[in-house]
Amino acid sequence: MFTKKDNDRDLIESRHIERGRGRPRGTTQQGLATRRHLYETAIQLIAMRGYEATTLRDVAHSAGVSVGLLYKYFPSKRAVVLSLYDDLSAEYARRGAAMESGKWRNRFLFALQTSLEVLRPHRETLITLIPVLVGSRDEGLFAASTAFSRIRVQKVFRDAVVGASDAPSPKVAESLGRLLYMLHLNIILLWLLDKTSRQRATSAFVVLLQKSLSSLSLALHIAPVRSFVCSADDLLQEAIFSVDPAVQEMMLQVSSRQTSRR
């Protein structure tokens, strides 16, 4: 889908996590406005035509700029997608910081509803990106290049449990937070694929989930259930996530600092 050159370049850019992706050093206000215009044009075209059918030449033509200028800000379509992940996860982290104190199930529902609210204006674009999100080992939602945005969102679900008034033991809380993050991803996929009016089926599923969470909360007092939560988390980490634990911890710390500055 992407060339190896683009892959390497975007992966390097993704590691400069505090500087931001695709933003040249010393960018002027005019440069920021240009970048925003190009970014919004690219996102609109992807939403209308689909990811595969949209080319950077199309984006440059629609934005009224040269292809060379576009390449200075977005050297590949992949860079546009990384910027979308970055923007959405940053907005989500900002809103997630307003989570109120209380039980973990209520805080989880807040985290889930907030995610849907942040993504809703971009639903059509995200629908076209489903093959990229879930169909590519190297470029998808669980790729190394998207780790920072992913961990930034995951942190909100982790904090929803760890910081709850009824939080279980630290190990169980960490595992449960990650599992709830994975559950949220499945609900997001359902929401993107939901063809009912105003995604009514997804809303009904969330209501059913809400009713079942109190039972899960009570079940966490049972040792085999706690063991299952930790074991399931270990298996998911091994099967899906490829980020080194030390790198993940560093990303969580950076995410915490950035959220506190907003």
Closest listed residue to residue 213, CA positions, set 91, 110, 81: 110
pLDDT digits 0-9 by tens, 15-54: 333 334 444 444 688 889 999 999 999 999 999 999 989 9
* pLDDT at residue 16, rounded to an integer: 39
Sequence-ordered list of residues with C-beta below 8 angstroms from that of 42, at least 6 positions apart, any chain: 54, 56, 59, 74, 77, 80
Residues 212 and 205: their CA atoms lie apart, in Å, by: 11
pLDDT at 244 over 90: no
Least confident of 37-46, 95-104, 148-157, 234-243: 234-243
Q: What's the rounded mean pLDDT across residues 124-147?
A: 82
Confidence tier at 78 by pLDDT (50, 70, 90): confident
For residue 245, the one-letter residue type is P
Q: Which parts of 120-222 fold into alpha helices (H)?
A: 123-128, 130-135, 147-162, 170-193, 200-219
- Which candidate, 54, 58, 114, places its Cα nearest to that of 81? 54
The answer to pTM > 0.85 is no
Q: Is the pLDDT of residue 261 over 70?
A: no
